[in-house]
Amino acid sequence: MKFLFILAATILSNFISHTQTVIPLYDDNIPNSKPYPDEETSEYTKDSILIIRKISRPTLTIFLPPVSKNTGAAVVICPGGGYWVTASRHEGTDVAKRFNELGIAAFVLKYRIPDVNTMLNREIGPLQDAQRALQLVRIHARKWKIDAKRIGIMGFSAGGHLASTAGTHYMHDYIKNPRNTNLRPDFMILVYPLISFTDSVENPGSGDQLLGKNPSKEKTVEYSNELQVTSKTPPAFLVHAKDDPLSIKNSLVFKEALLKHGVPVEMYTYEKGGHGYGMHNKTSNILWMDLVYEWLKRMKFIKDY
């Protein structure tokens, strides 16, 4: 009888840990926002990709692994969408569930879409949300059974730009931070990321929504994240396909900058695959998530359970 009770309690504990909770990103007023009606919409494309538009009320969806598998590591996930929309399922919740299977807590960030109608300063809105997500995960690390020194950030496409911005602009708090919580991610995972707005890297239209059509040279430099790397930038794992229309030069210039400053970096390059394939590049049998898991182990961010 006692054995059955313990078994039931263990199963229940694992089930509770694997459930999902959606919380508002901010407790009160959303910083850097204008009064504006909530016009958020979502839809599935013909390829069953979930697209969310006009996000002005950011949230964080919490995915905690089963207790028996918990490694203590955590990742904040930023789906892509060119800063126009977010592809929140195959670059968000599906990835979070896979991380949970690997014993890693995951938090899908529904960040605000840059918009002059909803924001006082559109260029910092997504970054504020990324910093707030990292802040929340660190503040609640003990409750969520997370090691506060093993919290990373991940991004796809423009979400990769956001993740790399969080990893290179953490010296300045863009949100209220009364506890002086560390806003630096401990590692970055960047999948077919946008990195640079410089003329040498082709990024058709990706910067228009964030910085406007004719940003100043200073703003272009500020948000070209390969130019913001220092020796204290977090280590990174990069994934890109050679035939990606969002040029592989983005990942290459970031990798070069990290190496130049002595920051650990690894990169996996697919011969083909294009852009936006999420976890599964149909042109290859190599699963980059498996490579990420092995990298995280080598970097001592996770331990085998």
Whether the pTM exceeds 0.85: the reply is yes
Q: Cα separation of 168 and 224, whole Å?
A: 10
Give the domain CATH number at 219.
3.40.50.1820
Give the pLDDT of residue 202: 64
- pLDDT band at residue 20 under the 50/70/90 scheme: confident
Residue 128 lies in a domain: yes
Q: State the pLDDT at residue 16.
A: 43
What are residue 79's phi and psi, to 5 degrees? Answer: -65, 160
| pLDDT tens profile 50-69 | 999 999 999 999 999 999 99
Predicted local distance difference test score (pLDDT) of residue 47:
84
Model pLDDT, residue 8: 40
Residue with more model confidence, 205 or 302: 302
DSSP output for 61-124:
EEE---GGG--S-EEEEE--STTTEEETIIIIIHHHHHHHHTT-EEEEEEPPPP-TTTBSSGGG
Domain count, the chain: 1
Question: Nearest CA to 107 among 127, 80, 141, 78?
Answer: 78
Place of tokens 């560390």: 182
In a domain, 97, yes or no: yes
Distance of CA 250 to the CA centre of its chain: 16
Which range of residues forms the domain containing residue 196? 2-29+37-298
Three-class DSSP category at 239 = strand
The mean pLDDT of the chain is 92
On whether residue 222 sits in a domain, the answer given is yes
Question: What would the pLDDT profile of 167-191 be if each residue is shown by its tens digit?
Answer: 999 999 999 999 999 999 999 999 9
Report which of residues 204 and 81 the model is more confident about: 81
Q: Is residue 48 part of a domain?
A: yes
Is pLDDT at 206 greater than 70 in this prediction?
Answer: no
Q: Give the mean model confidence (pLDDT) for residues 264-277.
A: 98
Q: Which residues contact 45 (CB under 8 A, 6 or more apart)?
A: 51
Count CB-CB contacts under 10 A for residue 195.
29
Q: Are 195 and 167 in contact (CB under 8 A)?
A: no
Q: What CA–CA distance (Å, rounded) separates 114 from 21?
A: 25
Please give the residue that has the higher pLDDT: either 303 or 248.
248
Mean pLDDT computed over 22-27: 97
- Is the pLDDT at 39 greater than 70? The verdict is yes
Burial code (b: 16+ CB inside 10 Å, e: under 16) for 112-135 equals bbbbeebbeebbbbbbbbbbbbbb
Q: So what's the pLDDT on residue 243?
A: 97
Report pLDDT digits (tens) over 240-267: 999 999 999 999 999 999 999 999 999 9
Report if residue 112 sits inside a domain.
yes
- Confirm whether 150 is domain-assigned: yes
Q: Tell me the percentage of the chain whose pLDDT exceeds 90.
A: 86
Assess whether pLDDT exceeds 80 at residue 99. Answer: yes
Is 305 within the bounds of a domain?
Answer: no
d(CA 283, CA 297): 26
Domain-embedded: residue 304: no
Find the helix or strand (DSSP H, E) in which 51 lies.
strand 50-53
